[in-house]
């Protein structure tokens, strides 16, 4: 069976983490060997970069500096994990990937989609997803789900990007939907306001066709 690169995208609170974990379990139960990573992160270098990018104490960051850090993290992840995994026949599932830079830095930060697309192509060197699931929901709904990280006293911890205002997150959503409209063969929009089992069922149905295998939730 051909190894595939599958990515999950969406605004904050769209449920990517729990959905992708559930989907990975179904793939593994069907005998598909899976490497599951997240962006930014997945290697020692990329996790260190993640710390810089998401630390709220760092405050304002130049949009291009922010973009280059995401790209640096991505280049390392591709070289160290994604490319070797695919070469070894493992399917890779990645929570966020190159489309996040187009939506967040290209569209919401205003750097432009063409600049981000060019730099992305250089960072991933051909490791383009076979399928991308865009978990789409209104910003208000995503924000109400909130971050799943809590301080010891139960107070929600919002990272540097989560602290951006509603307008920023509306633009991120808009950026993602534009991408899906342009590249509808690769980017599949999933209604993330549905119950978790409905969301998972829709994704598994699509992956059954991609892998030509029966998948159960
Ligand atoms: P998350 O792992 O909790 O989703 O946090 C990653 C954050 O980084 C999230 O706010 C989206 C943002 N991000 C970008 O702005 N550009 C990117 O290229 C990637 C991968 C993530």
Give the closest residue (by CA) to ligand 1 atom 16.
101
How far does the centroid of ligand 1 lie from the alpha carbon of residue 12, in Å?
9
pLDDT at 209 (0 to 100): 96
> For the structural domain made of 5-211, what CATH number should be given?
3.40.50.300
How far does the centroid of ligand 1 lie from the alpha carbon of residue 212, in Å?
31
- Using DSSP bridges, classify how beta strands 34-38 and 131-136 pair: parallel, antiparallel or unpaired: unpaired
pLDDT at 151 (0 to 100): 60
Q: How many CB atoms neighbour CB 109 within 10 A?
A: 22
The sheet carrying 5-10 orders its strands as: 34-38, 91-95, 5-10, 131-136, 187-191
DSSP classification of residue 57: G
Ligand 1: atom nearest CA of 108 is 15
| Positive or negative torsion for Cα 173, 179, 180, 182 | positive
Instruction: Provide residues with CB under 6 Å of ligand 1.
Output: 12, 38-40, 70, 96, 100-101, 104-105, 161-162
- In 15-74, at which residue ranges do the beta strands (DSSP E only) sit? 34-38
Ligand 1: atom nearest CA of 162 is 10
**Beta bridge pairs of residue 92:** 5, 35
pLDDT at 30 (0 to 100): 97
Give the closest residue (by CA) to ligand 1 atom 7.
161
User: So where are the chain's domains?
Assistant: 5-211
Determine the distance from the C-alpha atom of residue 57 to the mean position of all C-alpha atoms in its chain, rounded to a whole number: 24
Give the closest residue (by CA) to ligand 1 atom 13.
100
Ligand 1: atom nearest CA of 160 is 10
Give the closest residue (by CA) to ligand 1 atom 15.
104
pTM of the model: 0.95
Question: Tens-of-pLDDT digits for all 217 residues of the chain?
Answer: 799 999 999 999 999 999 999 999 999 999 999 999 999 999 999 999 999 999 988 888 999 999 999 999 999 999 999 999 999 999 999 999 999 999 999 999 999 999 999 999 999 999 999 999 999 999 999 988 866 555 656 666 788 888 889 999 999 999 999 999 999 999 999 999 999 999 999 999 999 999 999 999 8
C-beta of residue 11 within 8 angstroms of C-beta of residue 192? no
How far does the centroid of ligand 1 lie from the alpha carbon of residue 90, in Å?
24
């Amino acid at each position: 069976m051909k190894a595939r690169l599958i990515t999950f995208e969406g605004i904050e609170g769209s449920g990517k983490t729990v959905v992708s974990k559930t989907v990975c379990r179904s793939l593994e139960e069907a005998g598909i060997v899976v490497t599951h990573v997240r962006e930014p992160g997945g290697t020692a270098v990329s996790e260190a970069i993640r710390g810089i990018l998401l630390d709220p104490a760092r405050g304002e960051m130049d949009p291009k500096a922010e973009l280059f850090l995401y790209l640096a993290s991505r280049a390392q992840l591709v070289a160290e994990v994604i490319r070797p995994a695919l070469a070894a026949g493992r399917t890779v599932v990645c929570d966020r990937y190159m489309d996040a830079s187009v939506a967040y830095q290209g569209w919401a930060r205003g750097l432009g989609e063409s600049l981000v697309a060019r730099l992305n192509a250089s960072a991933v060197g051909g490791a383009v997803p076979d399928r991308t699931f865009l978990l789409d929901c209104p910003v208000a709904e995503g924000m109400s789900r909130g971050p799943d990280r809590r301080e010891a006293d139960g107070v929600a911890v919002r990272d540097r990007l989560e602290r951006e205002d509603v307008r920023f997150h509306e633009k991120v959503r808009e950026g993602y939907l534009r991408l899906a409209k342009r590249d509808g063969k690769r980017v599949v929009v999933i209604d993330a306001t549905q119950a978790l089992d409905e969301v998972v069922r829709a994704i598994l149905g699509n992956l059954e066709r991609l892998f030509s295998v029966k998948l159960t939730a």
